[in-house]
Structure 1
Amino acid sequence: MHHIQRLAADILGRIEAGTTLTDALADAQRQQEQLTPAERGALQDLSYGSLRHLGVLRHCLRQLVPRPLPEPQLERLLLVALYQLQHTRAAPYAVVNEAVTSASGIARGKFKGLVNGALRNFLRRRDEILDAAARDDVAAANHPDWWVARLREAYPQQWQAVLAASNAHPPLTLRVNRRDGPVAEYLAQLAAAGMEASALGNEAVQLAKPVAVRDLPGFADGAVSVQDEGAQRAAHWLDLQPGLRVLDACAAPGGKTGHMLELADVELTALDIDAARLARVGDNLQRLGLNAELRQADAARPQDWWDGRPFDRILADVPCSASGVVRRHPDIKWLRRPGDFAALGRQQAAMADALWTLLASGGKMLYATCSIFPEENCQQLESFLRRHPDAVRLKEEQLLPCERHDGFYYALLEKH
């Protein structure tokens, strides 16, 4: 399976070049049609795991090879192999042999000896090397330095817990469709299928161990959806009532869209600028047996698509850094740059301003992000309130990543 190791190293290179992990994995699997399901799973594990632990892996590599490596692909290959040696059950000799074989294709194989020596050195000095990495705060954080600095400033008492949660494996959390039955009934179905789970309130269920979505009882029939417990709060905040006219801006992939329609028979428009992602909303609603008007358009340019009828409720799930969902998408922390926030802030403000004009008097708009950084959340809200004196803040909440849920920010506004 040395080709899996090499493919994972290739994916790390794609991430360094700015490609998302989702796209890089999809491209690799499309180009390697011969991969078995087990190999596809292994490739996903190596790619996600290497990115999740990249800080420690880099520190280990610097101890083993102090000088810069002449070939970037060589470094990526060693990082993936070090992840395998630390976090998988693969036999150490097999990992080393795979890496040496993979190195044969780099610079005519002249670095095979370096790869072999570095990895065997790690096996001999494993405890010493890992202890040194654990004592290095930068390495142990497994996040960029600037990210950690911002977290410490924003959450001086909680930043370490946030980092720990962001580095952990995410739970598989489900939203039970209450139109199909109560949580207790679905828990019984899971138990009958041999799946251990616990309830998180009236709708959310968290599995003790992740399983393939296709194996979930009733998933294909819309009895349950995959959705983080924190994300499930959005629909409830909007106080939906039958007959209300509702806009879900930036709706893809449709988790919140489906939830709103499960809660109330509303007239819902689901908007997204990306046609492919909007199609996923349609697929999700079809599985749930629910209907909405799907519209491909830019939420920040209502003049291109709005029919002039005000909305009673608007979910403004604006583009953001996605810093609250890093445990699900570990590439995010390495793709983001400090300079991204200025452009994101302008985009968020423009979208919130545009959507506010579509809201009926007495209507409610929920400003939502999956970010944990104040400049996208509470600071953005304060700026919005200064620009819109007719906006009244009803409530707001910053959810930080923890064992139970990802990181989200919600602010509910009413138009007076």
Structure 2
Amino acid sequence: MGKKPNLFNTRATAATLLVKVINQKRSLTAVLPQAVAPLSDQDSAFVQTLCYTTLRWFPKLSYLIQLLLTRPLRTQDKDIYCLLLLGLCQLIDLATPVHAALSETVSAAQALKKSWAKGLINGVLRNYLRNEDSLKKQITYHQEAYTAHPKWLLQTIQQYWPNHWQQIITANNTHPPLSLRVNSLEGTKEHYLRELESYCIEAQILPYTHQGITLTKPYSVAALPGFHQGKVSVQDGAGQQAAILLDVQSNQRILDACAAPGGKTCHILELNPTANLVALDIDQIRLSRIQENLTRLQLKANLILGDATDPHTWWDGILFDRILLDAPCTSSGVIRRHPDIKVLRQKEDIHRLAVLQERILNALWSLLAPGGLLLYCTCSIFPPENDEQILKFLISHSDAKISSFTVPWGIPQKIGQQLLTGTENFDGFYYARLEKCK
């Protein structure tokens, strides 16, 4: 593109962000903060809504554009393609008034210095409105568009979860709840619920969690009572299981590998203030996010920049009593929170990430003390990243055995427990616990 858009045109800003995600394959969470920084809170929220919703329904919206365009756009006009996505998203999924959706999206072309596209955008969006019923009918015959999932992802979910795939697809396309973890060092979830009530913020207890609550309606995190003072953190109910299952005892030495952004790190320390915790991550920017969370919650950990597959470059030689490995994965269980996964992931990523997980598991196992526990978890719903991975590990490590646990949530696997996206309104997560033989 070369030319910087008018940052105060929200749709132009959203379009440039979508180009970075769809065409440059960058994650939305990585590119969003800087783009919305100059905007007002209201405009920032609107840009986020536009981007997240467009990516959530991308397979459907892109199919409609195929039907509506008489000829493909030029390679250098990816931003105009994204404006068309945004325009359809406003009309179909955001219930934006027709006049606003058309006029403001057309105006965004001007902000992108592409006035020639104003007529094209106006024509395509009006063509959709004229033929809305027939186009929606065509969607029902196109599986990718109808389910809003790329073909490989839909088929993989159907393959592994033939009796649950429709539930998973529906959950993936649903706006996720805002779930919180109350800091147990600051008070109980019941006390915080009463505090929310005094602010007229509706919430309820999150099942199967020690300190979890869910807000009935979306709310600005920064405006939550006591957030900046460390009373509460954002964390899905599935993620809140890790610190419990790790079963940390007083004064134990803990490794939280692949720790960023630090939600589980902080939860472990809230439950076990005496723990000697090392938080490891390979990315300096992500490591700084852990420190921000620790500072806000007034907690302390030893942060290390390092590669989990190569411990000899950062490990001090002292064994750990507990290791939490929240392994890199396809993130197939958190698509509702990160809909850009539909654009960024490909089927071959399952094998590629499973290979990386195996390398990390093998490397970290040697750092665990005899009698110690390693908790393996992913935010994936695909068995090659989960119980198949752990089964392979057990076969090749005679000093490892399953440390079983009983929980009231999820689906028991050959090894470990699987939560499917949307169950109990949780994200999709897998947990398995291993003990090192003495």
**What's the TM-score, normalizing by structure 1?**
0.94
SS in 2 for 1:392: strand
Per the alignment, residue 235 of structure 1 pairs with 243
Deviations 1:15-54 (A, max 9, x none): 1211111122234235xx2x22221111111111100111
Match of 2:139 among 129, 133, 144: 133
Q: CA RMSD for the aligned pairs?
A: 1.9
Contact kept? 1:143, 1:334, Cα under 8 Å: no
Deviation at 1:66, TM superposition (A): 4.9
Deviation at 1:63, TM superposition (A): 2.9
Match of 1:164 among 154, 165, 170: 170
Per the alignment, residue 36 of structure 2 pairs with 29
Structure 1 unpaired stretches of 5+: none
Deviation at 1:378, TM superposition (A): 1.2
Contact kept? 1:175, 1:224, Cα under 8 Å: yes
SS in 1 for 2:9: helix
Match of 2:387 among 361, 369, 378: 378
Deviation at 1:127, TM superposition (A): 3.2
Tell whether 2:286 aligns with 1:277.
yes
Match of 1:47 among 45, 51, 76: 51
Deviations 1:218-266 (A, max 9, x none): 2122221110000000111111111111111111111101111111221
Tell whether 2:428 aligns with 1:411.
no
Q: Which moved more, 1:388-397 or 1:103-112?
A: 103-112
Match of 2:264 among 211, 233, 256: 256
**What's the TM-score, normalizing by structure 2?**
0.90
Deviations 1:137-180 (A, max 9, x none): 21022121001111111000111111111111010001112222
Q: Which moved more, 1:271-280 or 1:222-231?
A: 271-280
Contact kept? 1:56, 1:134, Cα under 8 Å: no
Contact kept? 1:322, 1:370, Cα under 8 Å: yes
User: 1:292 and 1:111 mapped to 2: Cα distance?
Assistant: 53
- Mapping of residues 291-370 of structure 1, within 5 Å: 291-370=300-379
Contact kept? 1:196, 1:207, Cα under 8 Å: yes
User: 1:280 and 1:84 mapped to 2: Cα distance?
Assistant: 33
Deviation at 1:87, TM superposition (A): 2.6
Deviations 1:65-90 (A, max 9, x none): 25433443332211110111123353
Percent identity of the aligned residues?
Answer: 44
User: 1:216 and 1:280 mapped to 2: Cα distance?
Assistant: 19
Contact kept? 1:300, 1:354, Cα under 8 Å: yes
User: 1:339 and 1:311 mapped to 2: Cα distance?
Assistant: 34
Per the alignment, residue 73 of structure 2 pairs with 69
Per the alignment, residue 155 of structure 2 pairs with 149
User: 1:258 and 1:27 mapped to 2: Cα distance?
Assistant: 26
Deviation at 1:104, TM superposition (A): 4.8
Contact kept? 2:150, 2:342, Cα under 8 Å: yes
Per the alignment, residue 13 of structure 2 pairs with 7
Deviation at 1:303, TM superposition (A): 0.8
Tell whether 2:121 aligns with 1:121.
no
Deviation at 1:415, TM superposition (A): 0.6
Deviation at 1:108, TM superposition (A): 5.6
Contact kept? 1:323, 1:333, Cα under 8 Å: no
Match of 2:197 among 169, 191, 194: 191
Contact kept? 2:57, 2:148, Cα under 8 Å: yes
Structure 2 unpaired stretches of 5+: 1-5, 405-415
Per the alignment, residue 419 of structure 2 pairs with 399
